[in-house]
Structure 1
C-alpha cells in the first residue's frame, strides 16, 4: 500500500506538470494559427495506450513515462520529421511564423511551469498558513549529530543565526537547504558569535553518510516503550526523564552523555509522570543504556512543557499573494544555486544528481496534500529551469537560436538546426543515463 501511495503521487505530479508544460506550448501555437499535430502525455514510441484525433490534433497517452510532447507542424524537434521539412513552408507551419511568435510558443512551457509554482505557493499560504518555531526561541541551540556538520565545526547547542549574511528567522522545512547552499554560516556558541566557513565539497561529504537532517530540534528524554528485558520496570511509556545522577537532563542529548559516564551503575533519577515529578533509581547497563526506546513528543506537548513556542500565521487570499511569491522566488533562487554547484566539479554535487527514482523517493508513503503540492511546486520550478538550459532539443536551445535570429536578422539553416537537434538529443540521453545511473549506483552501494 505504501508503494502504491508513493507511485500514485509520483505519477499524478509528473502527469500534471507534463500536461501543463505542453499546454504552455499548445495554447500560443493555436493562438498564432500554428498547426499542432500531436499532444501527448508520455512518449508513444511505436504505439499509444490511448489516442483520439480531434480536429487536426491527435491527443493521446504513450507507454513510456519519460515526459511528454506537442508536435508542431514545420518545427525541427525530437520527431526529426525531415520529409515535412523538405516540402515548401506552409502558412500554418511553425517555420512560417514571425520570430517573435515562435519565441512566445517556445517560452510558453517554462512560463506555465513558473506560474504554476507561484500559484501553488500562494494557494498553500492561503490554505495552510505558516507554522514554525521562531529561531530566537531556541534558547539552548540546536541538536547537531550529523558527522559532516560536526567535522565542519558545528556542535550541539549552537544557535544558527544566518546563512551567507541572510538572517534565519525561523526553523522550518527550508533551513537544512539554506545551510547546504551556504558558503558561510553565522552561529552563536556560549554567547559568542562566530562564523563557520562551509567546506566546498560539503554536499559530496554528506553523500557518504546516511541521509537525515543536518540540524534538529533538541527534545526531552521521553519514554516510548520499555523492553521486556529492561531492569528498569519502574519506567513507563510517556515518562520524561528530567534528571540523572543529580544532573538536570532537559534534553535527550544531555541524558546520553550522563548515561555514557554511568555504565554499569545504579543512579538516582527524576521523572515527570502525569505532570508530576517523581524520584526513582535506574540501572544503567554496561553499554550505557536503560533498556527503553525513546518516544516522540508532539510540538503541542513541547509547548505546554515550556520548551518551544509554536507560531501559526494564517493568511487571507490577498495576504497570501506576496507570501507565495516570496516563497516561489526563494525556491527559484535556491534551485539556481544548486545547479551552479552541480556544474562546479570541486563541490562534488554532481554525484548527487538523480533520475526518476530520486524524484520518486521524495514523495512520502502516506498521502498528504500539503506535502504533495509542496513537492509539485518545487518540481515545476526544476522543470522550468532545466528546460531553459541552452541545450539543443530543450526549449532553451530553441530560444537561444531564436534570439540569435531576432538579434542578427539571420535564420539558422534547417540543416544546422537538424544537426544541433541531434547533438542536443544525444546530450540529453547522456544526462538521462548519468542521472538514472547514479540512482542505480546509490541503490547498489546503499547510499
Structure 2
C-alpha cells in the first residue's frame, strides 16, 4: 500500500505540474493578445468543482476540478470541449479568440505544446547540471547479454558484450540499443575477448523485440542469491546468501534470466488452474542449488511452506535478490551553461525515439501495448527519488507535447490544422463544422483512453 501511495503522489504531482504549465502556455498568449480567459482550471469540473476563486476586477475564474483527466483554459470566443454555443451565437467581440488574426490564434493554440517541450528540455538540463550523467557503457557490462532463440538464430550468443552497430557505438543499454539493432545491418560484440560482427537484416520488428518472452536481449544476471527478505518464501525454503540456483523443476538454469522465465511459465499455468489443488500442484517448486560453503548441490522445495492465499500469484514472489554485477560506472559532470545544450540533445533524442515508436501503435500488438493511468503511474519509482521524479516528469512533458500536437480535433493539433488551412485558403471553417469536429475528436480521445485503461485492468488480472 505504501508503494502504491508513493507512486500515486508522484504521478499526481507530475501531472498537475504539467497540466498547469500546459494550460499556462495558452493563458500567456491569450493574455498577450488581449483575449479574455474565462476559466483556468486544474482538472475538469463537470457538474461541480472542488475549489474556485475569482479575483476582484478579473474576468478569469481559477479553480480545481474533481476529474483528474487534464485541465483547461476556457478562452472566450473559441469552440472547445465546453461547447459554449450560446456565446458563439452572439456577435463577435474584439476581446474574443475568433476576432483575432489567424497568426495570433495559432500562437495561442501552440502555447501549451511549446511550454511542455521547453519545460522538458529545461528539466533535462537541470538534471544533468545537478546530478550529472551516470551510466554503465554497454562495453563495460562484462557479463554481457542473455539472448532469445530468435537472437541466437541471427548469430548472437549468451554473454556477448554489446559494442555498437554500423549506425554507431552504443552508449548505454536501453531502448536506443533496440532501435539501432532493429535498423542496423551489422552489430558488433565482444566474444571471448575479440570483437565479432553479427549480420542483421536491417528490418527487425522493434515491438516484437520488446514484447517477446523471453526478450530479444536482456542484461545477463547470475542466478546467485545476494540477500533474502525476512519472512519470505525463499527464507522458509532455506535459501541463503551466496547460493547459486542451477535448476528449477528439473530445468537447468544458467542465469537469473532463466529463473525468471521459468517462474513466468509457472505463473501462466497458475492463471489457468481451475481448482486450489491444481494451484498447489503448479506451485510445488523444486530448486537445485550449489552452496558456496561446500560447493555441493542440494535440493530445496516449497513443500510445507506454501501459504493459502486468495491470490495464488503472491506465492510466486520468492523474496530473494540476485547478486548485482559490479560494473564500472561512467560519470559526466556538466557546468551550468554546458547543461543546456546537453539537455536539448537529451530531450530531442527522447522525442525522436518516442515519435519513431509511434508507428507500432497502429497494429494489433501496438494497441495491446497502450497503457493508461496505471501504466504511467507504475513508471515512477517505488521510493521517492527526486532525480527519477524529474526525469519521468520531463518524459511525460515530451509525451504530452507530442500527443497534443497530433492533428486530432479537440486536441491543440486539430485546432492548429484548421488554422493553417485558414491561413492558406483565407477561408475559416464554419462553426458547425468545428463543433462536429470537436465531438468527433473527443470521441476518438475517449476511445483511446478506454482502450489504454482497459489494457491496464487486463494486465492486472493477468489476462493480457
Report the TM-score range of the alignment, normalised by the length of the smaller protein: 0.7 to 0.9
Equivalent residue runs for 1:1-16 within 5 Å: 1-16=2-17
Give the unaligned 5+ runs of structure 1: 242-250, 257-262, 272-278, 303-307
Structure 1 residue 435: Cα displacement: 1.5
1:439 equivalent to 2:462? Answer: no
TM-score, normalised to structure 1, is 0.80
State the secondary structure of the residue aligned to 2:457. helix
Q: For 1:393 and 1:181, locate their aligned partners in 2 and report how far apart those are by CA, in whole Å.
A: 35
Q: For 1:179 and 1:324, locate their aligned partners in 2 and report how far apart those are by CA, in whole Å.
A: 22
2:422 maps to which residue? 405
Equivalent residue runs for 1:109-148 within 5 Å: 109-144=112-147
Structure 1 residue 101: Cα displacement: 0.3
Aligned counterpart in structure 1 of residue 444 of structure 2, from 420, 427, 434? 427
- What is the RMSD computed on CA atoms of the aligned residues? 3.4
Structure 1 residue 357: Cα displacement: 1.4
Q: Measured at CA, do residues 376 and 266 of structure 1 come closer, stay the same or move farther in structure 2, by a change above 3 Å? A: closer
- 1:336-384 Cα shifts (integer Å, max 9, x gaps): 01212213x27x2221111111111212221111111111111000000
- 1:178-210 Cα shifts (integer Å, max 9, x gaps): 415752452426342113348755525754648
Q: For 2:163 and 2:455, locate their aligned partners in 1 and report how far apart those are by CA, in whole Å.
A: 35
Q: Measured at CA, do residues 63 and 392 of structure 1 come closer, stay the same or move farther in structure 2, by a change above 3 Å? A: same
State the secondary structure of the residue aligned to 2:77. coil
1:282 maps to which residue? 296
Q: Given that residues 256 and 322 in structure 2 are in contact (C-alpha distance below 8 angstroms), is that contact kept between their aligned partners in structure 1?
A: no
Structure 1 residue 293: Cα displacement: 8.6
1:27 maps to which residue? 28
TM-score, normalised to structure 2, is 0.77
Equivalent residue runs for 1:323-402 within 5 Å: 323-343=342-362, 345=363, 348-402=365-419
- 1:27-86 Cα shifts (integer Å, max 9, x gaps): 010010000000000000000000011210010000011110000000011111111111
Aligned counterpart in structure 1 of residue 338 of structure 2, from 295, 308, 319? 319
Equivalent residue runs for 1:36-435 within 5 Å: 36-54=37-55, 55-144=58-147, 154-162=156-164, 165-171=167-173, 175-179=174-178, 182-184=181-183, 186-188=187-189, 190=191, 191=194, 192-197=196-201, 201-204=205-208, 206-207=210-211, 209=213, 214-216=217-219, 218-219=221-222, 221=224, 223-225=226-228, 237=241, 239=242, 280-285=294-299, 295-297=321-323, 302=326, 308-343=327-362, 345=363, 348-435=365-452
Q: For 2:134 and 2:342, locate their aligned partners in 1 and report how far apart those are by CA, in whole Å.
A: 13
Q: Given that residues 163 and 169 in structure 2 are in contact (C-alpha distance below 8 angstroms), is that contact kept between their aligned partners in structure 1?
A: yes
1:276 maps to which residue? none
Q: Measured at CA, do residues 62 and 147 of structure 1 come closer, stay the same or move farther in structure 2, by a change above 3 Å? A: farther
Q: Measured at CA, do residues 142 and 217 of structure 1 come closer, stay the same or move farther in structure 2, by a change above 3 Å? A: same
State the secondary structure of the residue aligned to 1:46. strand
Q: Given that residues 44 and 69 in structure 2 are in contact (C-alpha distance below 8 angstroms), is that contact kept between their aligned partners in structure 1?
A: yes
Q: For 2:353 and 2:20, locate their aligned partners in 1 and report how far apart those are by CA, in whole Å.
A: 25
Total equivalences in the alignment: 401
Q: Given that residues 29 and 105 in structure 1 are in contact (C-alpha distance below 8 angstroms), is that contact kept between their aligned partners in structure 2?
A: yes
Structure 1 residue 439: Cα displacement: 1.7
Q: Measured at CA, do residues 91 and 13 of structure 1 come closer, stay the same or move farther in structure 2, by a change above 3 Å? A: same
Structure 1 residue 394: Cα displacement: 0.4
Q: Measured at CA, do residues 407 and 254 of structure 1 come closer, stay the same or move farther in structure 2, by a change above 3 Å? A: closer
Structure 1 residue 255: Cα displacement: 12
Q: For 1:74 and 1:160, locate their aligned partners in 2 and report how far apart those are by CA, in whole Å.
A: 57
Structure 1 residue 421: Cα displacement: 1.3
